[in-house]
A and B are shown apart, each in its own frame.
Chain A
Amino acid sequence: MTMERLQEILARHAGTEGPLLPILHDVQRTFGCVSPDTQQAIAQALNLSRAEVHGVVSFYHDFTEEADPRPCVQLCRAEACQARGVEALVEAAEAAAGGRVRIAPVYCLGLCSVGPAARVGDALHARLDAAALVRLVEAA
């Protein structure tokens, strides 16, 4: 089943110039990770070595070799959000998350004038205070 869906993804990008990143994005979104097995299959399809594919997967922050099924709250920790006090919220967010939710740092969501900002899936949230962030984590 996994391989069938992988073949679909590979077929979708056939004929694309430089298809590796678009393929890896689709694989990461579909399976939650780019596992060593899929890396092998991708390498074969693109006539690359497995090491080349692994090198690319491990270079970019967006790709992981193992899936993390927990919901993820990305909290912006870059300078502009720091200037608006994000560091003071981190502890509360992590306490609310416990082991159930993953709190991941992100460096800039482009909401620098209304930080602190966070992203859950494709939904964005700004002007967060501790209470709003905790609610967000609990609802994730």
Chain B
Amino acid sequence: MMIVRISDDSLALALGADALAAAFTAAGASVERVSSWGMHWLEPLVEVDGIGYGPATVDDVAAILDGTSALNIGPIAQHPFIKPQQRLTFARAGRTRPLSLEDYEATGGWSGLRRAQAMSGEAVIAEVTQSGLRGRGGAGFPAGIKWNTVAKAPGDRKYVVCNADEGDSGTFADRMLMEGDPFQLIEGLAICAHAVGAQTAYIYTRSEYPHAIAKLRAAIDLAAAIIAPLHMEVREGAGAYVCGEETSLLNSIEGKRGVVRAKPPLPALEGLFGCPTVVNNVLTVAAIPHILSEGGAAEYAALGVDRSLGTKPIQLAGNIKHGGLYETAFGIRLHDLVYTIGGGTASGRPVKAVQVGGPLGAYIPPSQFDLPFDYEAYARADALIGHGGVVVLDDGADMGRLARFAMEFCAVESCGKCTPCRIGSTRGVELLDRIRAGAKVLDPVGALPQMHNAPKVARTADQDIALLEELCETMKFGSLCALGGFTPYPVLSALRHWPEDFQ
């Protein structure tokens, strides 16, 4: 019987993959549900004998089965979007059934864990350090150093926490990995727990990802005997963006408000329930099994540029023709991502800006598209790589409105712990409204008769903009965490490159 492979990733489900699968079954085909290749503009993508058809609807079933469909994209593995990629973390994407232990084992699964278990924790950490792996969540902190701190920290009880609270707009790599290859994440966590001497591992993810939660829980049950005696559990967030910040996340697992903790103490020394804790992002953890397989660390370190080593799963999103997941070594230029790989905008209109790194990332104009994907190069350009989300906007975008949205989002999502973020974001919204209204309005508080020293004339637009810049500086350097500290990036970059949108 003919085997038809269709993804059960939630993006494919959102586009009707279940109905499509049912139609193929009804037509007499045997359907296998696999992970997504990441070519999202072609989803739901149907694979028959290695040949892809997409985006398919139930009306295409008959033609796909008799091989006459015009949706034929040729051999998927040779597709120009797939072929040039360097897939380590997403090596299995599209190729395996997410909850099949058999598929996982057959594609090299658990080999990293088995090798690590035969090694001392110290030796495992040495290999992770040697690979040059840095935190893929955005901060880019070297994973080996963090693990070493936890391993050496005093205390019998230690934890591993996987930060799977992928709240950034434009990012979906964590979700795809949790849904498509959950055993890889479990294996990475088990290796980490072995290395640092932890007994419990938590995966904290968002309530907006119900499919990922269900898949992970099922996968943990299936793998329980393999990772024993390690206890692993999924914890569900409750719709607070700030819980993606590691110290908020720890409070949230403990059952508290997701308020940021001041550092020090570092979570590596005093983390979950006051115990030494490794907090790593999904993609950081998922890179571990490959690194721990024979020769993996050296192979990993050979990829990338400068101090940004290995591969980075990049998410092409927003107004882009060929959106999806693109994993490649660090160093790729934004120009290639947006135009060559992404095919430009979906609307066919000129690209105006690209936001890299989620809602807290800078807006980058086409004149800077030569920027290589590299933590330090982005930092020098006053931008961030963050979690690797690339959101493309066409010339219809209003950058002033997006800057206001960034401030408003910060105001709504601020945990309230520190003043620059809590108050600054609200004042930022007010200031942007005043600037965009273009009207000379007296500051409402300054207008009070009691405010003897307040200026009695309304600020000019230039003065308001200078004040906004000053406010952003205060938030950048005075906030406790990335939410308040990075919100100035989208605001200031929009202001710098598209001042006309603020008039």
Residues of chain A at the chain B interface (Cβ within 8 Å)? 17-22, 24-25, 46, 55-56, 59-63, 78-84, 106-115, 117, 119, 122-127
Report how many residues on chain B are interfacial, defined by Cβ distance under 8 Å: 59
Smallest CB gap from A52: residue in B: B256
Q: Mark B311-324, 1 if CB is under 8 A from A, else 0.
A: 00001111110011
Number of inter-chain CB pairs below 8 Å: 148
Q: Mark B161-202, 1 if CB is under 8 A from A, else 0.
A: 000001111111001000000000000000000000000100
Give chain B interface residues in 378-417, CB to chain A under 8 Å: 389, 391-394, 397, 402, 405, 409, 415
A18 with B40: CB separation less than 8 A: no
Q: How far is the CA of A111 from the CA of B235 in the complex (A)?
A: 22
Contact of B169 among A20, A24, A63, A78 (CB under 8 A): A78
Q: How far is the CA of A22 from the CA of B210 in the complex (A)?
A: 14
CB contact under 8 A between A84 and B241, given known A111-B10, A113-B324: no
Which residues on B sit within 8 Å (CB–CB) of A21?
A: 235-238, 252-253, 255
A60 with B323: CB separation less than 8 A: no
* 29 A–B contacts, CB within 8 A, in A order: A18-B253, A19-B255, A21-B255, A25-B238, A46-B255, A59-B240, A59-B415, A61-B239, A63-B238, A78-B169, A79-B169, A80-B169, A80-B170, A80-B317, A82-B405, A83-B391, A107-B241, A108-B169, A108-B171, A110-B175, A110-B208, A111-B172, A112-B317, A112-B389, A113-B317, A113-B323, A113-B324, A124-B14, A127-B15
Which residues on B sit within 8 Å (CB–CB) of A106?
A: 208
A124 with B169: CB separation less than 8 A: no
**Counting chain B CB atoms within 10 Å of each CB, which of A19, A79, A126, A127 scores highest?**
A79
Q: A60-B239, A108-B166 given. 11 additional CB < 8 A pairs?
A: A18-B235, A59-B258, A62-B238, A83-B391, A108-B167, A112-B389, A113-B11, A113-B172, A113-B315, A122-B211, A125-B14
Smallest CB gap from A117: residue in B: B14
In the A-B complex, the 8 residue pairs with the closest CB atoms: A113-B323, A20-B255, A78-B169, A61-B239, A60-B238, A112-B317, A83-B318, A124-B14
Q: How far is the CA of A81 from the CA of B240 in the complex (A)?
A: 19
Which residues on B sit within 8 Å (CB–CB) of A62?
A: 207, 238-239
B323 with A79: CB separation less than 8 A: no
Smallest CB gap from A108: residue in B: B169
Give chain B interface residues in 349-389, CB to chain A under 8 Å: 355, 359, 389
